[in-house]
Structure 1
Amino acid sequence: MKCLLNWRVTLLGLLLSGSVAYAADSRPPASPAAAPAAHVIDRRPGHAGIASANFHATQAGLDVLAKGGNAFDAAIAVAATLSVVEPESSGIGGGFMAVLHRAGDGREVFIDARETAVAAVNLRDYLNPDGSPNRDNALNGPLSAGIPGQPAGLAWLAAHYGKLPLKESLAPAIRIARDGFEPDRRLIGAITDREKDIRRWPASVAKYLPNGQPPLAGQLWRDPDQARTLELLGEHGFDGFYRGETASRLVAAVRAAGGNWTAKDLESYQVKERTPITLDYRGYRVVTAPPASSGGVAVAEILNILSGYDLAKLDEAHRTHLIIEAMRRAFRDHNDYLGDPDFVQMPLDMLLSPYYAAGLRQTILADKATPSSMLPVSAGAEPGMHTTHFSVIDADGNIASVTLTVNYTMGSTFVAAGTGVLLNDEMDDFALVPNKPNVYGLLGSAANAPAPGKRMLSSMTPSIVFGKDRVGVIGSPGGSTIITQVLEGILAFIDGKDAAGIAGQKRFHHQYMPDRVDVEPGAFDAATADALTRMGHTLKERNPWGYMNVVTWDLKTNKLDAASDPRRESGLGKVQ
């Protein structure tokens, strides 16, 4: 495998010899991203479609559309409602990334509302005496939390892309938080699973363990503190969360529990607009997430590799083999190069180059797996299954593909007293120790080391796919498997599957390390599994998988199709 390593080094040198390594979009947040050529669609669907992981959230988005809002107002309503009814996966104590398409002028933009490290971040807080990662501090309590980006991102969407005042788009979430809702089985299960950690924090116990126990099915559950926090956000925008009453309570609660937030950390938070990654694959235009997401780069690299094959002519085993090998190589580069574009220079010209992909393609054998041990060796752990995604197309053809997270299930489990805000535990997404896996088994280099104000690398990969006759809005939760699930969703869309077929298809995943293929039960028939094993692939069945939410638009018939993942019983994809 020396040829692969030599190819990478040689091509990197060639690409960088004539130009400085590309550092994407390190400009002030108020400046709009320099978008590629506009992609205007000459028709409008005339009706709307939303797919999210919870029926309350989908209905909230549809209610806001009915009040005259657009897809971006609906996105605010869906995201805020998920914060109330699905806190195990996302919330205003976390962050989001979104790819937007504006119908009027075809403008496409990536909204980066990712969390950031505090100014006082100290790597020693996340290390044990022997230098190994301290996973408790990285995953639990206030030290694990970055400064939330979601509230600022929602205010940014309302101010720059929505039609309604922010408070109107937040109204459904505020109503549900105040009047109450019945928690679903998944939320009850998440609280039960994290009960031991929740009990460490009094405000968390008060919110998630009413009467000292997890909530019961059918029990009405209210969240008045979060309702008040959302009201202040709606009334005052950015200042309603990052300054004033809410900010003071957040800082006081975090510092009282041993954290190191300051008022300046909150006031200094900035939403970033960035240029999406755009590529053509077999006549389809894929618009996806740039760094500080790692997902779009990896998806683009995989698709560039696969563009050299006619996958439709291959049997299932050989088609899958090539996809796995492309995944392996993209995740290897993911670990080496990627980080916050405002802090590190990345060779994106190389990683996104079809010539680089052609070189990687030459290292793939047609019927034999490439052991990851033949690349630089490190160890990984289990990929996780958290986060949430929703997709929106409105009647005018505005599109929002939005992925939100608090990282691990129930985030840090730390609720800031008096706010109802469950904080994220995104500090674990930094490479706290180079080439040591985080909770999702992902590795990282110094490019993703923590620093004041820095965004941690994310796997979130909200994407939009434009074809001659169809448009697809695709994304998924799932930790490190987000990237491969979105990739497989894009390939399924290109193969002609409808929204339900894309969301429900069986999945597989390879992330370089550990060197195995994680497989959803039933993904491969016996003959395909046997053929892959004989090629040298190690298959391991696993569950659960992320809950994908998809909206498609047939441009010939003007029909929208929305589907939520059948693995999540309370999800809802709805066309109205």
Structure 2
Amino acid sequence: MIRHALLVLFLLLPRLAWADATPAAHPPGGAVASAHALATEAGIDMLRRGGNAFDAAVATSAVLSVVEPISSGLGGGGFFLLHDARRGRDVFLDARETSPGAATQARYLTASGEFDRDRAENGPWAAGIPGLPAALVHLSQHYGRLPLATTLAPAIRIAREGFPVYARFAIGYQQRRAVMERYPGTRAVFLRRGHAPREGEIFRQPELAATLERLAREGFDGFYRGITARRLVAGVNAAGGQWTLEELAGYRVKERTPITFAYHDWKIVTAPPPSSGGIALAQMLQILAPWQLDKLPQAQRVHLVVEAMRRAFRDRTFYLGDPDFVKIPQRLLLSPDYAAGLRAGINPDKATPSDLLSGQPTPLEDEETTHFSIIDAEGNMVGATQTVNLLFGSGLIPPGTGVLLNNEMDDFALKPGTPNAFGVMGYAANAPAPGKRMLSSMTPTFMESRDKIAVLGTPGGSRIITMVLLGVLGYADGLDAAQVAALPRYHHQWEPDVIAVERDALPAATIAQLRAMGHTVQVPGEEGGGRRSSDSWGNMNTVEWDRRAGVLRAASDPRNPVGRGAVLLEAARVH
């Protein structure tokens, strides 16, 4: 077993047909980059067994759902950006959670009319109807080659036999234990040994293994109908919530058309609504396109990038939501002419105060999320970001399921103009409604030039969008996968009017120049302007195929505390 590798390059030699506009070529193998070695190993194992990138994605996603309950799981949802090489098409699988019918805005107010933050973040009312299990079934049935019984087998085995608790898991549980230990189903899983999970202990989840087995055996009905569905509904309702069997059975994955646009010599394919990331990414890159950023002094470059971030996040607040419920002016927002108008308002030497851009503040997606990137030797690609929102989601496991439910309802505008868990706000476009999907920042992205193809994404809350932006700019500057994953990060989201930076991301002289331009720069250890700036953010996982050099590269974020490194397997043919 690969104990400490977060990514693996697996070399095969089949043929690729990518796109008519590029020279005939194929990758020298397959690559998987994820946030946990066991998940990467499961994806690689599917490639060894003759599966494709989509089979590898099912296995990788399912194992992450077992080993990263702090970040994602069957009780959550996600977005899967796919490139189907045989059909020559890109598609976006929307497996975002949906609002239960009973979850009206009034449900999240106290008797005095104040916002009930506990109900929005913890327990049964915090949870949306999960989408990830349906995505695994859909991906397997419509794009994979291997049966679910094969692709889910690693996750079932790890859930049953266990895996070592890592530091982030143990620390995160301590942060959330007061909530998690409210619920008998959660206590039965996390206090099985009679105490909270400790680093190095083996953590077993037999109920989750049984739930995964039903999913493998019965497909969609194994989760959304039958015994699992009955236990989920009974557990939520016993805890004071209000789910129905009909809502579970009615959940559907949606195939959507990705957003595609050009940035210099690159074709960018990225996430459409209900992700806010793709439109924001397109706006920022189109605003920045006329400048040769790599030729500018660092302070000038950061200033311009921040001004683009500021304008895109302002539009995100007012225009974006679930496209099945809200009319989104997508054509306008993606127009180069509209970007030119936004660019015209940028002073190249001075910050634009956010309160001069008409409007009010923003909704987002939590940073306890996970992302993985895959490419196979046929040229199929997957960029997937999945989540349960806050640390360990809602904290609620319905008894007998092992399924830790999300708290994505907090990503809706539950009370207009009231900040959510991340100090940001939303309005009517992102208000809850039965079956509606809450706005997200998850931004799985493909990049393609004549010489290179890359898949990238990251967790990180609203910072997902700006981290992907910096990753795209890094690849455009000629960096490789490892350099892109390690790039220093900074972020601006319109409100609060602050540039947040990682520790040591910018030198003191650059920070001083930005402040002289009128920017407020928040560095680790300083307070003000919203959330405290962390030492480091995100967990970028990216793969690239350098067609000019004829090599694959993959990188997992060096910030990831679970482990670091890459393992290269010798070239081999698999039939």
Question: CA 1:341–1:381 in 2, change beyond 3 Å: closer, same or farther?
Answer: closer
Per-residue CA distance 1:547-570 (angstroms, 9 max, x = gap): 111111101222111111111132
Within the candidate set 450, 453, 458, 1:476 is matched to: 458
Is 1:40–1:103's contact at 8 Å kept on the other side of the alignment? no
Residue 82 (str. 1) matches residue 57 (str. 2): no
Q: Distance in 1 between matches of 2:185 and 2:257?
A: 40
Per-residue CA distance 1:350-383 (angstroms, 9 max, x = gap): 1100000000101000110001122245467999
Q: Which residue of 2 aligns with 1:134?
A: 116
Residue 492 (str. 1) matches residue 484 (str. 2): no
Is 1:46–1:396's contact at 8 Å kept on the other side of the alignment? no
Residue 563 (str. 1) matches residue 545 (str. 2): no
Is 2:363–2:425's contact at 8 Å kept on the other side of the alignment? no
Q: Distance in 2 between matches of 1:306 and 1:184?
A: 40
Residue 437 (str. 1) matches residue 437 (str. 2): no
Question: CA 1:383–1:535 in 2, change beyond 3 Å: closer, same or farther?
Answer: farther
1:76 aligned counterpart, secondary structure = helix
Q: Which residue of 2 aligns with 1:374?
A: 356
Identity of aligned residues (%): 54
Is 1:69–1:163's contact at 8 Å kept on the other side of the alignment? yes
Aligned-partner residue type, residue 560 of structure 2: R
Is 1:406–1:425's contact at 8 Å kept on the other side of the alignment? yes
Q: Which residue of 2 aligns with 1:226?
A: 208
Is 2:28–2:551's contact at 8 Å kept on the other side of the alignment? no
Q: Distance in 1 between matches of 2:347 and 2:291?
A: 13
Residue 104 (str. 1) matches residue 96 (str. 2): no
Q: Which residue of 2 aligns with 1:546?
A: 538
Question: CA 1:142–1:574 in 2, change beyond 3 Å: closer, same or farther?
Answer: farther
Aligned-partner residue type, residue 536 of structure 1: G
2:543 aligned counterpart, secondary structure = strand
Q: Distance in 2 between matches of 1:259 and 1:128?
A: 16
Query: What is the TM-score of this pair, normalised by structure 2?
Result: 0.91
Equivalent positions of 1:106-505 (< 5 A) are 106-376=88-358, 378=360, 385-505=367-487
> Structure 1 residue 217: deviation in Å?
2.0
Is 1:48–1:575's contact at 8 Å kept on the other side of the alignment? no
1:343 aligned counterpart, secondary structure = coil
Q: Distance in 2 between matches of 1:383 and 1:554?
A: 32
Residue 512 (str. 1) matches residue 494 (str. 2): yes
1:415 aligned counterpart, secondary structure = coil
Q: Which residue of 2 aligns with 1:46?
A: 28
> Structure 1 residue 205: deviation in Å?
1.3
Q: Which residue of 2 aligns with 1:22?
A: none
> Structure 1 residue 396: deviation in Å?
1.3
Q: Which moved more, 1:488-497 or 1:419-428?
A: 488-497
Question: CA 1:507–1:104 in 2, change beyond 3 Å: closer, same or farther?
Answer: same
Per-residue CA distance 1:165-213 (angstroms, 9 max, x = gap): 1111000000111111111111111111111111111111121223342
Aligned-partner residue type, residue 431 of structure 1: A
Q: Which moved more, 1:132-141 or 1:277-286?
A: 132-141
Per-residue CA distance 1:370-429 (angstroms, 9 max, x = gap): 011222454679995320100001121110000000011110010111010000000000
Is 2:317–2:361's contact at 8 Å kept on the other side of the alignment? no
Is 1:76–1:169's contact at 8 Å kept on the other side of the alignment? yes
2:202 aligned counterpart, secondary structure = coil
Q: Distance in 2 between matches of 1:574 and 1:247?
A: 40
> Structure 1 residue 313: deviation in Å?
2.2
> Structure 1 residue 57: deviation in Å?
0.5
Q: Distance in 2 between matches of 1:263 and 1:43?
A: 49
2:182 aligned counterpart, secondary structure = coil
> Structure 1 residue 437: deviation in Å?
2.2
Q: Distance in 1 between matches of 2:365 and 2:57?
A: 28
Q: Which residue of 1 aligns with 2:42?
A: 60
2:460 aligned counterpart, secondary structure = coil
Q: Distance in 2 between matches of 1:512 and 1:188?
A: 34
Q: How many residues align?
A: 540
Q: Which residue of 2 aligns with 1:10?
A: none
Question: CA 1:447–1:521 in 2, change beyond 3 Å: closer, same or farther?
Answer: same
Aligned-partner residue type, residue 561 of structure 2: E
Is 1:308–1:358's contact at 8 Å kept on the other side of the alignment? no
Q: Distance in 2 between matches of 1:218 and 1:525?
A: 38
Please list every run of 5 or more consecutive structure 2 residues that lacks an aligned counterpart in the other structure.
Answer: 1-18, 524-532, 570-575
> Structure 1 residue 129: deviation in Å?
3.5
1:518 aligned counterpart, secondary structure = strand
Q: Which residue of 2 aligns with 1:524?
A: 506
> Structure 1 residue 109: deviation in Å?
0.3
> Structure 1 residue 46: deviation in Å?
3.1
Q: Which moved more, 1:369-378 or 1:270-279?
A: 369-378
4+ runs deviating over 3 angstroms: 37-41, 129-132, 376-384, 571-576
Q: Distance in 1 between matches of 2:509 and 2:385?
A: 36
Q: Which residue of 2 aligns with 1:7?
A: none
Aligned-partner residue type, residue 127 of structure 1: L
Q: Distance in 1 between matches of 2:567 and 2:269?
A: 23
Query: What is the TM-score of this pair, normalised by structure 1?
Result: 0.91
Q: Distance in 2 between matches of 1:104 and 1:41?
A: 16
Is 2:364–2:440's contact at 8 Å kept on the other side of the alignment? no
Is 1:96–1:112's contact at 8 Å kept on the other side of the alignment? yes
Q: Distance in 2 between matches of 1:178 and 1:243?
A: 23
Q: Which residue of 2 aligns with 1:9?
A: none
Aligned-partner residue type, residue 284 of structure 1: W
Q: Distance in 2 between matches of 1:355 and 1:467?
A: 24
> Structure 1 residue 104: deviation in Å?
1.7
Is 1:461–1:486's contact at 8 Å kept on the other side of the alignment? yes
Is 2:364–2:439's contact at 8 Å kept on the other side of the alignment? no
Question: CA 1:304–1:430 in 2, change beyond 3 Å: closer, same or farther?
Answer: same
Q: Distance in 1 between matches of 2:364 and 2:453?
A: 33
Q: Distance in 1 between matches of 2:497 and 2:363?
A: 10
Q: Distance in 1 between matches of 2:132 and 2:365?
A: 24
> Structure 1 residue 131: deviation in Å?
3.5
> Structure 1 residue 38: deviation in Å?
7.6
Q: Distance in 1 between matches of 2:397 and 2:365?
A: 26
Q: Distance in 1 between matches of 2:373 and 2:21?
A: 19
Aligned-partner residue type, residue 546 of structure 1: G
> Structure 1 residue 316: deviation in Å?
0.6
Q: Which residue of 2 aligns with 1:30?
A: none
Is 1:441–1:513's contact at 8 Å kept on the other side of the alignment? no
Aligned-partner residue type, residue 349 of structure 1: R
Is 2:365–2:411's contact at 8 Å kept on the other side of the alignment? no
